[in-house]
Structure 1
């Protein structure tokens, strides 16, 4: 592992390069906080893909891209005399110290759940008007549901055990089925949302990350369906001409190869 001096030197090198790019490169000079926003979101998703693939070399590269964006935002902030990279770094340091009183203070926290509860209480003391204030509006719905549930659980609004949550899942499924039978489209959508929300809650109790779980299934499906397309090409056929029986046979082959 590199020592701290080497790490700081590497970070200083990145800051120097950022200064050069902002001064000399037409593209970099043109960028704003707003223009970088979508690019940052894309880079974050690319990091997420690398993590799911457990590709550590790619994780390293994507972390570099995100670090570049952080330095870029800080550079723009310094040009506006609003903040610089030192302000950004010191702010997160102070936040971490404040929110870890079991490390830097005299609060006791023996497990992860106690840490989370202390975290939410501290954030309310810091000025958050309500528990859910910190959940970004633009989060994907699945991730947002997870964060909502984690936050309210942090202040004690939670189920006692997984069995209770599973009963809620079954209850929501029954209500969903009732609306399907009644052919009530609007109510069906609402009840389906309740089913998803309850399943996400159940996943939380089972220590399953629902976003990761669903993305793994997405990747698995893509891989198997791509196998069907490959087999169709080997037969000089279009996938649209395959029967459902042929598709299912190739699907089973793909499963057995995994």
Structure 2
């Protein structure tokens, strides 16, 4: 027998929580939803966060509303599974983050002062460090940088943490020497025919150093690479269409032909 959906008259969050409870109900719920666990849902949670960021980048508010709903569903999904095992529920999640935000904004909810965004960030990090100490967690300057972050983003965050305690280059210009050194080491390993894992190490050193350069320039390396990915996609597809207009597939074209057409596309873009 079909379940009666929660009433549209309910508050949105209450309705969503009720929908998820129905989906996870062993008696008549959704087989796919019932099969999931925290690990299987985690990739969807990450994907939805990226789709929110993409909607923001496109400036599409209707899309952003929908994507935020998809992300909220992930929070409700995880909370429901935790409630089923009697760990916590959505209310506990909401209360915990409210308490954390109050605790980490003493300049708003207590008598501390923080007149600039940088002062707020320092206060935030100090509070986080105190919280880790209170929990008996690692007090390393690098603690709390999530392992699940994209590697380039994590590199930038790790280097930022190290910089806070003075372990950094004095300015962006001084990084170039290290980039050249890392590239030379990579070239030497390639010429020596070293194993793949060694090449991976050396290439990782190059990328990590470039992530540091991005930090010193005040550039988000993930955003920079996304922008280049978009630019590459646009140019490649323009080149592809130009050959299709001639009735040719890229597989029928020589590399020299594609290079020449690519340069033409780039030149048009600069104009």
8 Å contact 2:169–2:175 — kept in the other structure?
no
The runs of 5 or more residues in structure 2 that have no matched partner are 1-9
TM-score between the two structures when normalised by the length of structure 1: 0.83
Using a 3 Å threshold, how does the CA distance of structure 1 residues 169 and 108 change in structure 2: closer, same or farther?
farther
8 Å contact 1:33–1:76 — kept in the other structure?
yes
Q: SS of the residue aligned with 1:250? A: helix
- The structure whose residues are more often helix, as a share, is 1
1:113-169 alpha-carbon deviations (Å, 9 max, x no partner): 22222222222211241232212223221011012123334x4335475xx232123
8 Å contact 2:159–2:212 — kept in the other structure?
yes
Using a 3 Å threshold, how does the CA distance of structure 1 residues 98 and 217 change in structure 2: closer, same or farther?
same
8 Å contact 1:52–1:216 — kept in the other structure?
no
Match of 1:4 in 2: none
Match of 1:133 in 2: 143
* Among candidates 37, 40, 49, match of residue 35 of structure 1: 40
Match of 1:19 in 2: 21
Deviation (angstroms), 1:253: 4.1
Match of 1:145 in 2: 155
Deviation (angstroms), 1:69: 1.0
* Among candidates 98, 101, 114, match of residue 96 of structure 1: 101
Determine the C-alpha separation between the residues in 2 that align with 1:202 and 1:176.
Answer: 14
TM-score between the two structures when normalised by the length of structure 2: 0.80
1:173-219 alpha-carbon deviations (Å, 9 max, x no partner): 13422652573557765454333223222222332111011011011
Using a 3 Å threshold, how does the CA distance of structure 1 residues 58 and 253 change in structure 2: closer, same or farther?
farther
Using a 3 Å threshold, how does the CA distance of structure 1 residues 197 and 166 change in structure 2: closer, same or farther?
farther
Determine the C-alpha separation between the residues in 1 that align with 2:176 and 2:118.
Answer: 23
8 Å contact 1:18–1:72 — kept in the other structure?
yes
Determine the C-alpha separation between the residues in 2 that align with 1:179 and 1:28.
Answer: 47
Alignment of 1:174-213 (within 5 A): 174-177=181-184, 180=187, 183-184=191-192, 185=194, 190-213=201-224
Match of 2:178 in 1: 171
- Alpha carbon RMSD of aligned pairs, Å? 2.6
The runs of 5 or more residues in structure 1 that have no matched partner are 1-7
1:62-83 alpha-carbon deviations (Å, 9 max, x no partner): 1111101101111111111110
How many residues in Structure 1 have an aligned counterpart in Structure 2?
Answer: 248
